[in-house]
Structure 1
Amino acid sequence: MYITELEIDNFKSFGKKTKIPFCEGFTVVSGPNGSVKRNIIDSILFCLTLSGARGLRAEKLTDLINLNTNRNSAEVSITFSDNTKIRRRIKRTANGYYSYNYINDRPCKQSDVVEYLAKFGIKSEGYNVVMQGDITRIIEMSDGERRKIIDEIAGVSEFDKKKEQSLSELDIVRDRIEREELLLAELEKRLSELETEKAQAVKYRELSAKLEYYNSCLSAAKLRDCEAELLGIATLEADQEAKLFKLNDDKAAAEENIGNLHNEISSLDAEINAKSGDEYRALLAAIEESKGKINLAKQNIARLEQLKETKKTQIDKLFGDLKRTETKIGELTDEIRNLSIDRSNLNMELASLNADLTNVRKTLDEKSSSVEGAREKLTNLMSALDEKKDVKSGILNEQGLLIEKSRLRTEEKSRLDSDIQKIDEEINEKSGSLLESRKLVESLNAEKSLLDGELSKTESKLFENKNALEKVISEYRKYERELMNLEAMQRASGGPGGRGLEAILGMDGVYGTVRQLGKAPQEYAVALSTAAGGRMQNVVCESDQVA
């Protein structure tokens, strides 16, 4: 790709729109000093953004606008061989200036132009444009610096930069991989801990369910036994009350019979006093019979009284058993209530553990974005963990672990607070240093302005002395070439080296000098001899031992 046309409008000394064609191959612009040859190069540098205002011999970009046309804008466009057109326009305003860039008449940013030209190896720091004095500088620089220029032109330096960038990115990736491996190892360790905790939770849930079931069964059995015992006591009490009521009835009847018998005895005594003889004996027999009945009735009464006392004792014993049973039922009720409270406490502890487990799961989800397999396995384990509980000892252990974690987090928070305080102090120190740096930058900018002024003066003097320097350099090179030719002629005629060199060439293992062994076309012989200088007389040997 090469430039086919350059169009300049109101740029520097070009007040009118000027089109300059460029043919394929070399295009030479010649003329005396002051004939604006340099302005053509400046317009190309300006359009392709390859140089700033300083490089274009101006204090600011608005100085590039022609002052004789009373126009406040300047424009340069370049057309390339592939019909690509790059155009740049600068416009002066009351507050400064505006710069516009176009690629194929489409507005774009200056960076877009730089990126587009970089694709073809055209860079501001490259050697696509060789300015006045660059050739002399290249000739005078060292071999290493000249090699860097060749690498830069050939594009090798760009690949070196890309290689260095790739190596640095590779180091970063390696660091990230190491961090991820550490994180993965920690996650695996945490996963094993969670598996242990899961097993404890499973065991706790099973034992808790069994304990709850057995407690409920025990309470139900005790309650059924107490209810059955209470029902039996109530039935026995009713039976005893019925028997006691019957005994009271029998006692009342017996007392009534005894009263009747006493009345009969009184009447018989009266009759006995009134009567005697057989009738008296009959009465006595009747009295004895009545006395026997009375004694039998008294025995029955005594037996019934004893039976009454026995039944009363049994009723008191049953009443005591009933009271003890009620007390036992109250104790069982309190025990059931305590078990319910313990169950509620266990559920609350389980809820807190589930909340902590949820927090741990969230933390693991945030930190295991690159460990999808482990996170999936962990999620499955967590879902299984939600269905099971741990035994009470496991909960206490987990509580101890949580307390220890809380302590560690508190220590970590204290450490982070101290780090934050140190960082704040460093920020304050850096702020003071930044203010000092800003003052230093301002002073340096002021010094830079002075140096820029001196540099402009020096450049003007340099331009004045450059022509004289070039004449001196051309004369120096002329004399240098003559000197090299004389040296070459002297060596060809057997100058330095002479007989000593001939003696060396006669030794075994010596092939000859570089001049004798090397061959080149005739038109390049003088140039190679001049470039090689005294090295043409270097001797080539078979090995280092011979040398």
Structure 2
Amino acid sequence: MFLKRIELQGFKSFADKTVLQFDQGVTGIVGPNGCGKSNINDAIRWVLGEQSTKSLRSGSAMSDIIFSGSEVRKPVNLASVSLVFDNTNRVFTTDFDEVEITRVIRRNKDAQYLINRTPCRLKDVTDLVMDTGLGRDSLSIITQGNISSFADARPEERRSLFEEAAGVAKYKKRKKTSLAKLEQTQANLDRLQDILDELERQLGPLEKQAEKARRYITLRDELAAIEITVLADEIGTLKDQVDALERDIEQSRQEENRLGSEITLQESRIESLRQETAALDVRILEVQKQYAASLQERVGLEKRKAQLDEQRRRLMESGSDEDRRQQLQALVQDARMEYEDRLDRLNGLEKQRHQKEADLLAVQKEQERWMQKTAGIRNRLQDLQRRQDTIQAMIRQPYAHQQGVNAVMKARQSLQGIEGTAAGLLHPCQGMGAAVNAALGGAVFNIITDDEASARQAIRFLKQNRSGRATFLPMSVCRPRYPGKDQETIAASAPGAVGWASDLVTCDARYESVRDRLLGNIFVCDTLEHANETARRLKYKIKIVTRDGDIVHTGGSMTGGSQKQGSSLLTLQDESRNLEQKIQEAESQADSCAGNLEPLRRQEQTL
């Protein structure tokens, strides 16, 4: 180990930066008293960690080693000393060829240590120089007081000096440190043993508590499963009630709309009757005026008749025979004229009566015809409504015969990732329910899930509750199936072509992969004959269905015949839409018939 140089700045009398370079051999520093020779020794010991201000002859505080100024120099705020060692022989346990140890202190601040200009702790410096025999109290640095202490030291003290000089002191220090650590470890072991003893005493009660906890967890899981099942049933029941209420609300809205339309019709009829009443009032006023004029004329005529009768009576009493004959002839003539007039009026009234009776009979026949037509429409409307109620009831319970599917759909609120069934998510276009139902086949009851984990959870639910089986289709692994370009070209030009089944349904965008997976490579034709011809052209490699639900499978096998009406959710929905349209048409026809009957009733009353 070789000290190459010392760099001092602001340390005691070294106000300016001073570098002392040491070469090989013996280096001596000479000078008069008070020039600062001892300050170099103090600087070396200070860098190596000396903490005693008395040993450094600096005063009461460590900051007193900073140059405090003179008559011609101002004080400085920092003291720094660096020792640079040659480490080519790797005396220090570091890979650097040169080791620089630095200590810096500022006024009113703690000292800072650096090794190769990297901040470190005093312990790091002590550990670095421990194995080298270099230290603030080692024999590598001998001061004037050390020589006298050597001469006056007792044998035990000299032994420690010899051990230090021989390099044994560091091992004794390590031994002392190790023994202290062993004592601390033994104390920790004793504490651990006490803790173990205490834990062993608690082990028995804790095992019982653990068994109770495990039992509690098992019962809690069973209770959770039971509660989930109960909640699923309650949710299903509540959902059915909500659906029933929604249907009632919808029926009430339809009834409200129907009543509103009827009210509007009746209001229009009332307005027409008001106008007719006003016209009749005007006519009544005219007739009353005519009646009053006729009464007045009748009174005048009766007065005139009374005068004539009186005149004739006087003539008959006092007149001659000729006068009486003439008066009698006049009376006969008047009687004949009155008789003929009343006879003509009677014949005219008879003709009017016969005509009115004929008109009344015609109106009654027409009214009876419209009533029969209305009754037929009402009966047909009731049949349609009963069928619609049946269809709606079947739609509300579309999976009644699919126990597993029914159980999952009722518990979907408590299960994660359940989107619905293929039949519930794919909506066929008008009139395509049978074709899409045939195209899906058994997949119509497939339950669509977000991912495989959701499907596994639902299967575990079915197993735990013994609720049957179901088929699940996770969207995360669902890959569409499409026909080839040549197959698309051939199918498009085939006779009776309707289109690909995936184009005949509507769904949300997120379910398009499911739609294309189940229906992407299935073609629809109008009739079975055209389906056979199309399958032949496609070499029986594509499944083909018809509007009526007949199927030509890949390979050429066929499935067809009559199927139970409303056998699946898709056909039920299709039939429900058709029934709604027919019900609307029947209601419109019934309203039209009722509108035609009302004028006939008024005409009948008039006749």
Higher helix share goes to which structure? 1
Q: Same fold (TM over 0.5)?
A: no
TM-score, normalised with respect to structure 1: 0.31
TM-score, normalised with respect to structure 2: 0.28
